[in-house]
Structure 1
Amino acid sequence: MKVCIVGGGLCGLVSALELAGAHQVDLFERRPIPGGCLGSYRAGDYWIEEYYHHCFAGDTSLLNLFDELGVTERLEWLQGSTGYYVDGTIHPLTTPTEILRYPHLTLIEKMRLGLLTLRSRRLDVSMLDGITAKRFILDNLGPGIYASFFEPLLKSKFGERADEVSAAWLISRIAIRSDRGAGGERLGYLRGGFQQFVARLEEEAAARGASIMLDSPVTEIRRKGDGWLVDGKAYDCVISTLPPQVTADLADIDIAPIPYQGAACMTLAIDRDVTNDIYWLNMKDKAPYGAVVSHTNFAPLEWYGEHIVYLASYFAGRLSDGFEQSMLSDFCRRFSVSKDEVHWHRLAVDPYAGPVYTTGLKDRLPAYEEHGLFLAGMFSPPNYPERSMNGSVIAGQEVAKRVLARYPDA
């Protein structure tokens, strides 16, 4: 049987890996590199992701796949420190002492925040899908914590839709980030970058017989009898990993849209650290980015020979003209960096970087099969209420299981 997979991100590559050998598999990826949001740049003699990534100790399916592909020996468990940029000042918020010194929350507010962090893993997030994160924080922690701590985080992540985001997303986010000791969060990263993982996925899927076609965008999916035509080529089965509304347009069928947002992420290299050894610096002050992620305050500097920094921004619609220059100029001004100090910079833009986890989203997620098409991706149940590499691995495996159940014979 001939299977077409549309989209060569993590979910699509995992689906190809699971189905190759049992069926003839063609995977189409519009970009010249595989991996989707896990794609990487080649910078000199190293690889670096276009969008910052790390994994967690609870990512069982992802870690099992690392084992299967022989990349586990590259996995390093590192410490991720955090901070807040407020009124032009960097405030570290990693250790208990640093949190106690943070001047923009009272001692009582800090205690309430700490108790919520402890409770987060015990809360049933499915019961929080209909409550906004804003209402949950206001009701449980008060307006001071919301205004000083959570509102800037929500707005930097979701922009104009921040007030629509569910408490299910927020509590899930807090829970997954509560695996921390005195030195910060315990986060996983592959020595040499996640490019090592993507390359092994592509290599193993191809070794099992999958054809992975890069720089090959799909422009039309049409039903023909019991099968499908994808850009005029006949297939028995189609898996789309694109956002549901994009698939609906390509196939001219009715699939309920999922709210998505875009991401603009600048990666740049400089000679020195500008965030005081902090890995993840959230921006409370208004800026063209919501976080400064100093990758080499997380992964060892000697792997790269230069400091790697990400500037993370999310958007709806389209970016304003001159956005790239305004982002770089703001960073240089705010952190006293001369543009001559920037070795290189690149801007990655994806208008469909991920779902916006609005209230009620849980009941609007599409099934793995709609109108005879198979669907899986960041919008699938394993990526609710927060997307992750682990969720995309599970979604890719789950949709492959359904294809194999429907079409058991090659």
Structure 2
Amino acid sequence: MIAVVGGTVSGLAAAASLAQRGYDVRVFEAGDELGGVAGTAATNGDPIEAVPCSLSRPRDERACALLADLGLATHLEWHPTRTGRYVDGTVHPTDAPWEFVALPDLSFGDAARLAALRSGVDVSGFPRTLPNPGAYDEHDAFVDVSAERFLRAHASSRVYDRFFEPLLAARFGSRASEVSAAWVLDHLRAERETTRFGREVRGYLAGSAARLVDALVETIGPEGIHTNARVSAVDVDGAVESIAVDRTGESGTESYAVDAVVIATGPAQLEGLTGYRCSLPMRTRTCVRVSTTTPLTDVYRVTMGADAPFDELVAHTAFVAVDRYDGHHQYYLLDGGRSAARDQSPATIERRWLEALGTCFPAFDRTDLRAVETTRFRQPVYEAGYRTALVPVDLADEVADGVYYAGVASAPHYPERRLGGAIDAGLACADRLDGSSESPDQTDGASLTASA
């Protein structure tokens, strides 16, 4: 039997792929719901994810292929998104080079350097040296350099302080200055589909990620899914031999003989079960989902800066049609992992953040609030030198034969492709376990076909 620890998207993808290859596989999920951060909540219309969830092509080609194999291709929709910054009561779009000039806290020269950086042209030595259009093609050359040091040198201190520092703080909180320059370049210069105006095209599964979770569960089969079943120990002696499972509300521990185990949870659980310690820093982010009939902005992702206790506003219904939710606009408010939010109760966070939302967006009416829900989730901090800290898919050399890792700290997740990265990580484990991959971190392999 193959045991999968965690009913996350990566765990379900691994289990479904292995089941289709003829393996006896079982998923053990400690909670009562499947999907991890792709878990959904009910609305007046379609379900909606607890945190923002989308795909980015062409980086997520394998995830898209999986959806097609599961019969979900017709439900995958691609929409252009807009990004922006909130400054002095106004949301300023930041997708196209000419929009940088309109930012109130950047000079024309700063805007030009930012536009050059976004285009992959190094103008840091101009006019003493000519612009270099290929300077940033190899992102790995900047893995060990901090984003702050790189951006101050290759753009300007003002560009870092006024543009990038708020954006990095929105994602990484107080550890923003430690983030690797390679992470920034990957987000700026990664292959992606954009419109002629620079707006990134992202994919969304109509009907929510619940469609994906349901299809994977169907492929695995209900007998292979165990919820409220926490794996408390993995017994290894040169090779994995068994697991111990504690079931909620029941006394005693069950033991299962296993041939291999795929751990599809966070690095803390990986360490607790195997002793393998991941050195990639993690931070806890807080997300408050707000439902209201009031439109606030048509920009999908807004970096808030210092004007609010939350760092980002994601307008889901600027991306997905509002009529999918019976006319209710759906917004996510996220922080970058600041301790103030982490240490506060959900009730306190919701009160303070909703007050700030009304201050920043006067159109918001508290009496029009239809739903509010708070979720906390863990994400890595891709600090300088992070590549050596990513967890291999195959942990035979580090732990024991038959131990695989598909959690958020694994290499296929980079760079925070939450849904696509999770699918890649799960399928990479299945490939490696099945012997169809030559490298522990290889993500290519056999495709998954849905059960009839």
Normalising by structure 2, report the TM-score: 0.83
> Using the alignment, how far apart are the partners of 2:360 and 2:229 within structure 1?
41
Superposition map of 1:389-408 within 5 A: 389-405=419-435
Q: Report % sequence identity.
A: 29
- Residue of structure 1 equivalent to 2:202: 187
Deviations 1:69-110 (A, max 9, x none): 011101211121121111232223345554332222122222
SS in structure 2 opposite 1:43? coil
Please identify, of 196-205 and 212-221, the stretch whose mean Cα deviation from structure 2 is larger. 212-221
User: Contact (CA 8 Å) 1:8, 1:36: kept in 2 or not?
Assistant: yes
Cα offsets for 1:194-234 (capped at 9, x unmatched):
22122212222227xx6112233333333368502222422
Structure 1 residue 16 and structure 2 residue 15: aligned?
A: yes
**Which residue, out of 160, 174, 178, partners 1:146?**
160
2:19 touches 2:219 (CA, 8 Å); kept in 1?
Answer: no
Q: What SS does structure 2 have at the residue aligned with 1:198?
A: helix
CA distance in 2, matches of 1:316, 1:24: 43
* Deviation sequence 1:302-349 (CA, Å, 0-9, x none): 111211111012326643242232222221332222321111111111
**C-alpha deviations, 1:247-306, integer Å up to 9, x for none?**
22234x24334311112111111112112x211111122422111111111111111121
CA RMSD of aligned residues (A): 2.2
> 2:26 maps to what in 1?
26
After TM superposition, give the deviation of residue 183 of structure 1 in Å: 7.1
Structure 2: gaps of 5 or more residues = 122-133, 246-253, 437-452
Pick one of 220, 226, 231 that aligns with 1:218: 231
Q: CA deviation at 1:19?
A: 1.0
Of stretches 73-82 and 227-236 in structure 1, the one that deviates more from structure 2 is 227-236
CA contact (8 A) 1:377 1:392 kept: yes
**How far is 1:178 from its partner?**
5.9
Q: In 2 relative to 1, CA 43–31 (structure 1 residues): closer, same or farther, beyond 3 Å?
A: farther
Is 1:132 paired with 2:146? yes
Cα distance in 2 for partners of 1:220, 1:340 equals 49
**CA contact under 8 A between 1:168 and 1:385: conserved in structure 2?**
no
In 1, the alpha carbon distance for the partners of 2:317 and 2:285 equals 21
For residue 180 of structure 1, report the CA deviation from its aligned partner: 2.4
Q: Give the secondary-structure state (helix, strand or coil) at the position aligned to 1:274.
A: coil
| Structure 2 equivalent of residue 159 of structure 1 | 173
**Is contact 2:303–2:313 with CA below 8 Å preserved after alignment?**
yes
Matches within 5 A, 1:231-380: 231=245, 232-234=254-256, 235-251=258-274, 253-275=275-297, 277-304=298-325, 305-315=327-337, 318-321=342-345, 322-336=348-362, 337-350=364-377, 352=378, 354-367=379-392, 368-369=394-395, 370-372=398-400, 373-380=403-410
Deviation for aligned residue 1:35: 1.2
Distance in 2, matches of 1:101 and 1:188, equals 29
Deviation at 1:149, TM superposition (A): 0.2
Say whether residues 1:203 and 2:218 are aligned partners: yes
Q: Is the 8 A contact 2:287 2:374 kept in 1?
A: yes
Q: State the secondary structure of the residue aligned to 2:230.
A: coil
Amino acid of the structure 1 residue aligned with 2:350: E
Residue type of the partner of 1:349? R
Does the CA contact (< 8 Å) of 1:7 and 1:240 recur in 2? yes
Quick one: distance in 1 between partners of 2:382 and 2:190? 16
Distance 2:404 2:306 in 1: 43
From the superposition, tell whether residues 24 and 243 of structure 1 become closer, same or farther in structure 2 (CA, over 3 Å): same
Per mean C-alpha deviation after superposition, the further-off stretch among 80-89 and 69-78 is 80-89
Say if 2:56 and 2:192, in contact at 8 Å, map to a contact too.
no
Q: Is residue 365–residue 380 contact of structure 1 (8 Å, CA) maintained in 2?
A: yes
Aligned to 2:77: 76
Task: Report matched runs for 1:52-67 at 5 Å.
Answer: 52-58=52-58, 59-67=60-68
**Deviation per CA, 1:144-178, whole angstroms, max 9, x where unpaired?**
10111001111111111111110111111112486
Deviation string 1:337-369 (CA, Å, 9 cap, x unpaired) is: 23211111111112x2x2110111101222221
Q: Given residue 320 of structure 1, which amino acid in structure 2 is its aligned partner?
A: Q
Per the TM alignment, residue 143 of structure 1 is displaced from its structure 2 partner at its CA by 0.5
- Alignment partners' CA distance in 1, 2:236 and 2:191: 44
Between 171-180 and 81-90, report the one with greater CA deviation: 171-180
Residue pair 2:307, 2:360 contacting (<8 A) in 1 also: no
**Contact kept? 1:265, 1:310, Cα under 8 Å:** yes
Q: Which amino acid aligns with 2:375?
A: A
Tell me how far apart the structure 2 counterparts of residues 178 and 84 of structure 1 sit (CA, whole Å). Answer: 21
CA–CA distance in 1 between the matches of 2:286 and 2:191? 23
Equivalent position SS for 2:232 = coil
**Deviation, structure 1 residue 126:** 1.4
d(CA) in 2 for partners of 1:316 and 1:240? 28
Q: Name the CA distance, whole Å, in 2 between partners of 1:405 and 1:85.
A: 49
